[in-house]
């Protein structure tokens, strides 16, 4: 039986916020934020994760605002929300809301959509390095060898990050954090000079490179940190990836959609590029997906953002979006209802 957590249930004079589905890891962090909604809104939270749209639609029938915990809202569900509920504010638990909600359709329905910003800068940056380190030192395979009694490692010696050049595609909050960590590892750092203030390069001691293909061709490690929007969708092309030198490490903890469809799989199939990927064209990834059969590729299930610190900041921002909405103010508004 699904546990339902409610705050101020007796305050029927207050608007109702419903969270019909959420990740287990979010339960306690978001509960800790609910006191900020005292005398502002009551909350009804279902303590399970489901993406069943029939269940979601039933649970949000009488809601005034919706907290979205990591599931996709189809156009059909969004239309139903607009037509059959009082919901005029949707708060998404992350930055890349464009991958989960049709924003133009939300704008058409005059539904506010909010997200969270920079909550996972450190979490995702650290995960990018976890992928790099697994590729160059193969700690997981070594652990398995030792535990199986094989002390004589036969998988080849590791590689060293110090002295190698890291090319960052997307020098925003996460990319900037990655640059700082890379400096701590003794790496040289370059980044694509696309709408990035000159002072950011100077402050991070990062070399700007104007041409994306040149950045990729000149790097020992390439790490993608672009947000997904209309301007970035498919911006990394097959032609760009063709310029990866054999042995270059390719890391993507951003969004798979910033790469031209099919281009990365085709490049990795050549077998000369080690890669660490946390995001995919289709999620969840099935075991028989073609990318799972490519040697030298490390895959994780879109968990780069999931740390204790990230959850704390994420849920703080989600509740701040609601308090601003009910006060007639703006906070992290991606689509305005006005």
Catalogue the active-site residues.
255, 283, 302
d(CA 226, CA 171): 8
- The two tokens of residue 153 are 């490692």
**Do residues 128 and 304 touch, judged by C-beta distance below 8 A?**
yes
d(CA 245, CA 195): 26
- The two tokens of residue 217 are 């061709």
d(CA 19, CA 91): 10
């Amino acid at each position: 039986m699904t546990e339902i957590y409610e705050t101020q249930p007796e305050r029927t004079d207050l608007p109702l916020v419903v969270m019909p589905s959420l990740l287990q890891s979010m339960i306690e962090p978001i509960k800790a934020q609910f006191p900020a909604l005292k005398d502002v809104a009551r909350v009804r939270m279902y303590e399970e994760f489901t993406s069943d749209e029939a269940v979601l639609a039933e649970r949000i029938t009488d809601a005034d605002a919706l907290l979205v915990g990591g599931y996709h809202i189809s156009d059909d569900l969004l239309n139903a929300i607009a037509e059959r509920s009082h919901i005029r504010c949707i708060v998404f638990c992350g930055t890349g809301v464009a991958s989960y909600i049709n924003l133009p359709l939300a704008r058409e329905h005059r539904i506010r959509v909010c997200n969270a910003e920079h909550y996972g800068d450190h979490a995702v940056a650290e995960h990018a390095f976890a992928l790099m380190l697994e590729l160059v030192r193969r700690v997981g395979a070594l652990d398995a060898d030792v535990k199986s009694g094989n002390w004589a490692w036969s998988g080849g010696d590791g590689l060293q990050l110090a002295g190698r050049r890291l090319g960052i595609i997307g020098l925003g909050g996460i990319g900037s954090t990655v640059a700082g960590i890379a400096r701590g590892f003794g790496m040289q750092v370059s980044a694509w000079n696309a709408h990035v203030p000159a002072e950011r390069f100077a402050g991070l001691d990062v070399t700007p490179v104007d041409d994306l293909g040149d950045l990729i061709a000149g790097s020992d490690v390439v790490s993608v940190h672009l947000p997904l929007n209309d301007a970035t969708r498919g911006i990394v092309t097959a032609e760009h990836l063709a310029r990866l030198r054999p042995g270059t490490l390719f890391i993507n903890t951003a969004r798979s959609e910033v790469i031209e469809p099919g281009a990365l799989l085709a490049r990795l199939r050549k077998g000369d590029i080690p890669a660490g990927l946390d995001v995919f064209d289709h999620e969840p990834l099935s075991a028989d997906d073609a990318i799972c059969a490519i040697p030298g590729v490390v895959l994780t299930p879109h968990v780069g953002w999931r740390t204790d610190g990230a959850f704390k900041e994420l849920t703080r921002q989600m509740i701040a979006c609601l308090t601003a909405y009910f006060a007639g103010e703006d906070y992290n508004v991606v689509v305005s209802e006005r």
